[in-house]
Amino acid sequence: MDGRIQHKKELIDRSLKIIRENLPGSLEKFLQMGLEKDGIYKQLEFAIQNVLDICNEINFSLELGIVVGYDDIVGNLHKAKIIDDSLKEKLKFLIQLREVLIYNYDLIQDEIAFKNMPEYLAIIEDFLAFIQRFLEGQK
């Protein structure tokens, strides 16, 4: 489990770095980015997918239960007291954000996404900090 999770963590770190390095300092510049802006959204989606893949890996490895979707995975982790209420809510938000990024891309409002991007990245970083503590506790 550790090797697969570590690889996913590295992918998340890489995506966050790409987003930070390419996110402009102003909304005006963000709105003018074109395909680069789409790339930022794609990296965010990829980071979220890897977060959810890590959750699935933990659920599967610890045999927490059968799942139909990501909500079930998060629910199982919460029920097993692996994640707390706060992280559960953050993960549920990331699930919804991922759905928008994949299936309802046309609904994204760039102004809101730009304003909230630091919060999105902070949620993912909170998860990375949790996963580090979790892995250390498993050794």
pLDDT by residue, tens only, the chain of 139 residues: 688 999 999 999 999 999 999 999 999 999 999 999 999 999 999 999 999 999 999 999 999 988 999 999 999 999 999 999 999 999 999 999 999 999 988 889 999 999 999 999 999 999 999 999 998 887 6
pTM, two decimals, is 0.94
Count of domains forming the chain: 1
CATH number of the CATH domain containing 48: 1.20.120.580
In a domain? residue 8: no
In a domain? residue 56: yes
Triad 63, 45, 118: Cα angle to 5°: 110
In a domain? residue 39: yes
Instruction: Give the domain extent around 129.
Output: 34-138
| Per-residue confidence (pLDDT) for residue 91, from 0 to 100 | 98
In a domain? residue 12: no
| Per-residue confidence (pLDDT) for residue 16, from 0 to 100 | 98
In a domain? residue 130: yes
In a domain? residue 83: yes
| Per-residue confidence (pLDDT) for residue 1, from 0 to 100 | 64
| Per-residue confidence (pLDDT) for residue 105, from 0 to 100 | 84
| Per-residue confidence (pLDDT) for residue 3, from 0 to 100 | 86
In a domain? residue 134: yes
In a domain? residue 133: yes
Q: Which residues contact 23 (CB under 8 A, 6 or more apart)?
A: 30, 40, 114, 117
